[in-house]
Structure 1
Amino acid sequence: MNFFFVLNGKALKNVILILIAAFFTAWFLYMENLAQIPVFSTKDGPKAVYRGEKDLALTFNIGWGDVKAEPILDTLKKENVKSATFFLGGSWAEQHPDIVSRIVKEGYEIGMLGYDYVDYMDIEDGKISKDISKAQEVFKKLNVKDIKLLRAPTGHFDKRTLNIAHRYGYTVVHWRIDSKDWKNPGINKIVENVKTAQKGDIILLHASDSAKQTAKALPLILENIRQKGLKLVSVSEMIANGEAHSKEIK
C-alpha cells in the first residue's frame, strides 16, 4: 500500500522556516559552547583563569626585592587606577608588611604567589601543599583576609596544582598578555608587548626588583588602555562579571 502526502504552499513554507530556525539555534549553541571550552583546566575539574569576557585586569607579581613595588603603587595612584591585582609571594610579604598594608589600604586586590619562588612542576604534591600553607599563615598574620586567587610562582603548573589549589579554596590565575617586563627589554618594547590587549585579557606585569623598567612603562600602558576605552578591574571582578576562560591541562 502506498501513502501520498500533499503539502500546500503555506504548509511547506512553515516547515522550511522551522528547519531554518532549528539550524541557526543549533549553530548558535554550538558556537557558544565552543567559545566557552575550558582553558588550563583538568577534565571536568578545577580551572585556571586566563581571561574573561569583558574589561581588563592588570596583575603584578612580587616575589622579591625592596625598591620597585612602591614606585608601581605611586604610579597607579598618580594615574588614578583604582583596580589591580597583586600576586604576592609569602616570603616577600613577610619581609614587607608595610607595603602589603599599603596595597590593601589603597584598595587593590591581593592574590597569593605561594611562599617560596619554586616551580610547582618540579616538586611533589606534599611540597606544593606545604608552600601554599606556609603562605596562608603569613597572610593570616598580616591580617589579609579573603584571598581567593593563587598564581603558580613561576607561572608553570599542571593538573596537580589545580587540584591542590582547589582543595585549599583557591582559583589558579594565569594570564593572556605577558609584558615580559622582567627581561627589561626597554620601555617601548614592554608597551608594545601589552599593546595587543583586548577586553577580557589578564595582563602579567611585575613589581619585583628584577623589573627595572615597569614603573616607567606603566603610564604609557595606561594611556593606551584608556585610548581603547577599556575599563580596569581586579581579577575577581572580572571573574564575577562574566564567563571566565580556561583550557584543558594534561
Structure 2
Amino acid sequence: MLKSFKRLGQLLCLTSLTLMLIPTVSYAKEIPIYSVPTDEKVVALTFDISWGEHVALPVLDALALKFVDKATFFLSGPWSDKHPEVVQEIARRGYEIASHGWHHYNYSQYSDDWIREQVTKTEQTLEQIIGHKPSRLIRTPNGDYNTRVVRTLRNMGYEVIQWDTDSLDWKKPGVEQVAARVLERVHPGDIILMHASDSCPDTPEALLTILEALQMEGYRFVTVSELLKYQK
C-alpha cells in the first residue's frame, strides 16, 4: 500500500513537471479601429448597405448636394451582386468601396477558413463590378468580432473598421433624432456609422442636417483610408 502511494506521488510530480515544460502561447488582444486620435477636424462618414435599392441613391444625392465627395461604403457581396449598377454609381462618384462580407452572420461563430471564403468571395464580386479591387477595409456583419476574427482578417491584408459614433438610423427613430445623435457625439478623427439600406429611410434627410452642421463647425470629410493616415 505504501509503495502504491509512493508510486502515485512520483507520477504526480512527473505530470506537474511535464505541464510546466509545455510552452504556453499568449496572444495580445486585437481590436478593430473605432476612430483615429487627431486634433484635426476630420471625420469619416461610413455607410453600410446589405439590402434594398431605394435609400442608396438618395444618400448619394444628399452627399452631392452638400458637395461632399469623400465617404466610405461598406457593401455586402449579395447586395452588390444584385445591384451592380448602384455599386458602379458609388464608384463613379469617387467614393471609397469596402467590404461588408458575404453572409450577414457573426464571424466569431465560424472558422477561419469560412471567414476567408466569405471575404474572398465578396472581394472578387466587387472587383468584377467596379473593375478594380476594393479598399482593403472590412466592417464585419453586425460589427461582430473577437481577437481571432481580427487576426484572421489582418492576415488577409484587411483592416477591420468599427465606429465611434453610431447614428442608430436602423432603429428608425426619426430624422431629427438620427441627426442629433450624431452631432452630439462627433469628434475629430471620428468614424461615423450610418446605413444606406432600405431599413433606414431617415438616413438621407438626416444626412443633410448632419453635413450642414459639421461643415459650419469646420469639419472636413475624408475616406476611412485617408483617416487612417492621421494616426499619430
TM-score normalised by length of structure 1: 0.77
Give 1:68's match in structure 2, choosing from 52, 55, 62. 55
Match of residue 32 from structure 1: none
Q: Which runs of 5+ in 1 are unaligned?
A: 1-41, 244-250
CA distance in 2, matches of 1:48, 1:147: 16
SS, match of residue 87 in structure 1: strand
SS, match of residue 56 in structure 1: strand
Determine if contact 2:70/2:94 at 8 Å carries over to the other structure: yes
For these two proteins, the number of residue pairs brought into alignment is 201
CA distance in 1, matches of 2:90, 2:140: 20
Determine if contact 1:46/1:166 at 8 Å carries over to the other structure: no
Determine if contact 1:47/1:171 at 8 Å carries over to the other structure: no
CA distance in 2, matches of 1:121, 1:85: 24
CA distance in 2, matches of 1:85, 1:146: 11
Match of residue 145 from structure 2: 157
Amino acid at match of 1:230: Y
Give 2:195's match in structure 1, choosing from 206, 219, 227. 206
> How far 1:146 moved relative to its partner?
4.5
> How far 1:74 moved relative to its partner?
1.0
CA RMSD of aligned residues (A): 1.4
Pairing 1:229–2:213 present? no
> How far 1:222 moved relative to its partner?
0.7
CA distance in 2, matches of 1:48, 1:176: 11
Determine if contact 1:57/1:234 at 8 Å carries over to the other structure: yes
Residues 63-92 of structure 1, C-alpha deviation per residue, up to 9 Å, x if partnerless? 111211111011111111010000000111
Matches of residues 96-111 of structure 1 in structure 2 within 5 Å? 96-111=83-98
> How far 1:158 moved relative to its partner?
0.7
Match of residue 32 from structure 2: 48
Distance change >3 Å, CA 191–CA 181, structure 1 → 2: same
> How far 1:161 moved relative to its partner?
1.4
Give 1:59's match in structure 2, choosing from 28, 46, 49. 46
CA distance in 2, matches of 1:194, 1:140: 32
CA distance in 2, matches of 1:100, 1:46: 31
> How far 1:46 moved relative to its partner?
5.5
Amino acid at match of 1:51: S
Decide which structure has greater helix share.
Answer: 2
Distance change >3 Å, CA 146–CA 65, structure 1 → 2: closer
Pairing 1:238–2:222 present? no
Determine if contact 1:51/1:175 at 8 Å carries over to the other structure: yes
TM-score normalised by length of structure 2: 0.83
CA distance in 2, matches of 1:114, 1:203: 19
Match of residue 133 from structure 2: 145
CA distance in 2, matches of 1:99, 1:72: 12
Q: State the identity as a percent.
A: 36
Q: Which runs of 5+ in 2 are unaligned?
A: 1-26
SS, match of residue 144 in structure 2: coil
CA distance in 2, matches of 1:224, 1:119: 35
Match of residue 187 from structure 1: 175
Runs of 4+ in 1 over 3 A off after TM superposition: none
Determine if contact 2:123/2:133 at 8 Å carries over to the other structure: no
> How far 1:182 moved relative to its partner?
0.5
